[in-house]
């Protein structure tokens, strides 16, 4: 599959047309990895409107806010489909907590990335097994680490294609779709949380602040990725 040829073919397509193209071409070899963000909720809404059997999964790190679990249930009920849930390996979580405590991720970037690997990256690799393309809700204007991302990329770490259908959307576009289509979203967004991950690593921010500033707020912006979306294009 030639990335440049596909990019050219999809150049003038809208988001729904892009998703339809890949769902038709890839059948069961494509899935949305949903973090239940507003972007992923938009994509969930679009995917199910195209194909009610579209594959969507999420990662339960064991440290998510209650509101995120509530959103999973609301989403399942609205679309009459259950999002598949992947969990970290019990023994690895037990070893991490027993050796380093409940909050080792505050100690250093290395320790935080270790926690992210155990709770997110390893489960993601299992979830992606057997797929050719994974869909994300990434947008360029979310953070400095995402400014150079493209609609379609080669993910070297997972040896597969990554599709970013909302890469050129802005936050206003996302909220407009959610409001117009009555898409469920995390109630923490109404309490000052523009970006929501694990409960200990997310916090509310002042209006107008960078949307990722509430994630891993003790780190510099250039380090604010868990490892799922480190860019390794070819």
Would strands 84-86 and 30-34 be described as parallel, antiparallel, or unpaired?
Answer: unpaired
Angle, to 10 degrees, between the axis of helix 15-26 and the axis of helix 38-50? 60
Q: Which of 116, 198, 201, 226 is catalytic?
A: 226
- 129-92-224 Cα angle (round to 5): 75
Q: How many CA atoms lie within 13 A of 178 on its CB side?
A: 19
For 78, the token pair is 């609205």
Distance CA 234, CA 212 (A): 26
- The rounded radius of gyration (Å) of the Cα atoms in the chain is 17
Angle, to 10 degrees, between the axis of helix 171-181 and the axis of helix 38-50? 50
226 is catalytic: yes
Is-contact 163 135, C-beta < 8 A?
yes
Phi, psi values for residue 182, rounded to 5° = 55, 50
Phi, psi values for residue 224, rounded to 5° = -80, 65
Q: Please, which residues bridge with residue 86 across strands?
A: 59
For 195, the token pair is 């970006």
Is-contact 234 154, C-beta < 8 A?
yes
Catalytic center residues: 226
């Amino acid at each position: 599959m030639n990335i440049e040829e596909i990019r050219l073919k999809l150049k003038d397509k809208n988001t729904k047309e892009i998703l339809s193209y890949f769902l038709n071409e890839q059948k069961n070899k494509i899935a949305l990895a949903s973090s239940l963000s507003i972007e992923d909720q938009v994509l969930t809404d679009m995917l199910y409107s195209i194909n009610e059997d579209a594959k969507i999964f999420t990662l339960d790190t064991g440290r998510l806010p209650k509101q995120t679990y509530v959103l999973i249930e609301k989403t399942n009920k609205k679309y009459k489909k259950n999002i598949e849930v992947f969990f970290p390996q019990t023994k690895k979580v037990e070893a991490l907590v027993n050796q380093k405590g409940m909050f080792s991720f505050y100690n250093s970037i290395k320790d935080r990335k270790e926690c992210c690997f155990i709770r997110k990256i390893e489960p993601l690799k299992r979830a992606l097994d057997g797929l050719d393309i994974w869909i994300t809700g990434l947008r360029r204007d979310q953070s400095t680490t995402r400014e150079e991302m493209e609609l379609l990329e080669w993910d070297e770490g997972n040896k597969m294609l990554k599709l970013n259908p909302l890469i050129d959307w802005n936050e206003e576009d996302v909220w407009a779709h959610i409001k117009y289509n009555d898409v469920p979203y995390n109630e923490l967004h109404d309490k000052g949380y523009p970006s929501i991950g694990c409960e200990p690593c997310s916090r509310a921010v002042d209006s107008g602040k960078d949307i990722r500033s509430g994630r891993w707020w003790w780190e510099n912006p250039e380090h604010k990725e868990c490892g799922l979306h480190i860019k390794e294009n070819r």
